[in-house]
């Protein structure tokens, strides 16, 4: 994710992930028939046969590219993702004009999504053209608890997502549904959630999930961080409206936020500090991720760094930390530094000590 004042001009990329059988392709079939997705190029990182918009895409030894009925383009990857993304901008151009304005990547259900995220964040040839717009994960409510308990890939998919799509609600008992939702409150409390029946969901709910939208250049930091989702009693409060979207309603008095009440290996925390943080925070964070990156699934925040007039955005996934980049201005009167940690097998006290060490408040 390249965070600059020109970020919206980069091609936004949505990553659609989720474990096997959780409904990714059904959702993709539905949203790709909507007008909002008409200028979207879809990359399917999957093997087998996938029906897309009533056309059958058969994977061969080469990349398969088809124009779908809506005018969208579909590209099936069997080669390196970097080469595929590099080739897209010239391969799908007419008279020097690119024919797509957005990319959606559907991963295989067995995939760990972090390598794709690393590519978008760190490869200079890719990050100069594309930006990560959001990570969407599908969760099968009927089998979700078993899947999360059994497969590390499923836990990671749910933990780092910006949006969770809850499928097959009609096949789950009320108690199992409650248990799964409470578990997701712990794993990823800040992700927006939508219940999806038969793949039917409005495409706009899955787009513009990052700091920048395709229409506005003003970063939406509050929506991106969703600090309120990490307040202490979130796991005990209902988060679903009639449409299946989850909302949190809390006060903001807590200085250190902990929503964890369960024994899952993955936990999420948000810490804040009123004082400007040290200038050396970036190399300190690099050292931290080098040592503990496999246990820090995602880290993001907004920082008030000593001597800086503008807020700095922090974003990292496991061992990869994107360079800190200034935003044009603070989103409001609040000048506190806030960092969200999504971790695996790290207790709150350890994360709090990490936060104090990197902000120089030991």
Return the H-helix or E-strand segment holding 178: helix 174-187
Return averaged pLDDT per consecutive 10 residues of the chain, 362 residues in all. Answer: 56 92 89 86 63 34 52 61 81 77 84 84 87 94 93 92 95 92 92 94 92 69 82 48 39 40 70 90 85 86 91 88 85 89 89 83 48
Find out whether 65 and 78 touch, Cβ atoms under 8 Å: no
- Give me the pLDDT at residue 167, please: 96
Q: What is the CATH number of domain 252-358?
A: 3.30.1220.10
**What stretch(es) of the chain map to CATH 3.40.50.300?**
7-206
Give the phi and the psi of residue 174 in degrees, each rounded to 5: -55, -40
The pLDDT of residue 17 is: 93
Please report the pLDDT score of residue 288 as a whole number.
81
CA distances to 259, 360, 361 from 324, in Å: 27, 18, 20
Residue by residue, DSSP assigns 108-122 as: PTT--SHHHHHHHHH
Q: Where in the chain is the domain with CATH 3.30.1220.10?
A: 252-358
Can you give the pLDDT at residue 359?
81
Q: Map residue 77 onto helix, strand or coil.
A: coil
| Rounded-to-integer distance, Cα 345 and Cα 359, Å | 22
Predicted local confidence at residue 305, as pLDDT: 93
Instruction: Give the model's pLDDT for residue 241.
Output: 37
Packed helices 114-122 and 81-91: angle between N→C axes, nearest 10 degrees: 60
Class of domain 7-206: alpha beta
pLDDT value for 77: 59
84-91: which pairs have CB atoms within 8 A and are 24 or more residues apart? 84/43, 85/119, 85/126, 85/129, 85/130, 86/125, 86/126, 88/41, 89/11, 89/129, 91/65
The torsion of the CA quartet 217, 310, 301, 318, rounded to 10 degrees, works out to 90
pLDDT of residue 210: 83
- The pLDDT value recorded for residue 37 is 87
pTM for the full predicted model:
0.80
At residue 140, the pLDDT reads: 96
């Amino acid at each position: 994710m390249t965070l600059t004042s020109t970020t919206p001009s980069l091609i936004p990329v949505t990553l659609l992930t989720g474990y096997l059988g959780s409904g990714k392709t059904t959702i993709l079939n539905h949203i790709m028939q909507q007008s909002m997705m008409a200028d979207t190029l879809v990359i399917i990182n999957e093997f087998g046969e996938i029906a897309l918009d009533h056309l059958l895409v058969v994977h061969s030894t080469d990349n398969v590219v088809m124009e779908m009925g809506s005018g969208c383009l579909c590209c099936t990857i069997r080669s390196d993702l970097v080469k595929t993304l590099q080739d897209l901008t010239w391969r799908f151009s007419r008279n020097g004009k690119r024919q797509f304005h957005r990319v959606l990547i559907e991963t295989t259900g067995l995939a760990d999504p972090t390598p794709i995220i690393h590519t978008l964040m760190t490869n200079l040839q890719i990050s100069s053209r594309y930006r990560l717009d959001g990570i969407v994960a599908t969760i099968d409510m009927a089998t979700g608890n078993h899947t999360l308990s059994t497969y590390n890939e499923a836990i990671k998919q749910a933990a780092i997502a910006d949006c969770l799509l809850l499928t097959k609600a009609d096949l789950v008992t009320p108690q199992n549904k409650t248990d799964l939702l409470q578990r997701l409150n712990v794993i990823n409390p800040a992700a927006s959630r939508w219940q999806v029946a038969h793949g039917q969901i409005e495409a706009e709910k899955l787009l513009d999930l990052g700091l920048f939208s395709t229409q506005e250049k003003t970063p939406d930091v509050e929506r991106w961080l969703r600090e309120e989702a990490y307040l202490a009693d979130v796991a005990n409060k209902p988060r679903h409206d009639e449409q299946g979207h989850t909302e949190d309603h809390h006060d903001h008095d807590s200085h250190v936020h902990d929503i964890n009440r369960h024994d899952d290996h993955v936990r999420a925390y948000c810490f804040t500090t009123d004082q400007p943080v040290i200038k050396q925070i970036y190399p300190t964070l690099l050292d931290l991720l080098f040592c503990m990156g496999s246990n820090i699934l995602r880290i993001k925040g907004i920082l008030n760094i000593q001597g800086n007039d503008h807020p700095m955005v922090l974003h990292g996934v496991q061992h990869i930390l994107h360079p800190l980049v200034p935003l044009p201005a603070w989103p409001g009167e609040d000048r506190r530094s806030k960092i969200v940690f999504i971790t695996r097998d790290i207790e709150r006290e350890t994360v709090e000590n990490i936060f104090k060490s990197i902000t120089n408040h030991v």
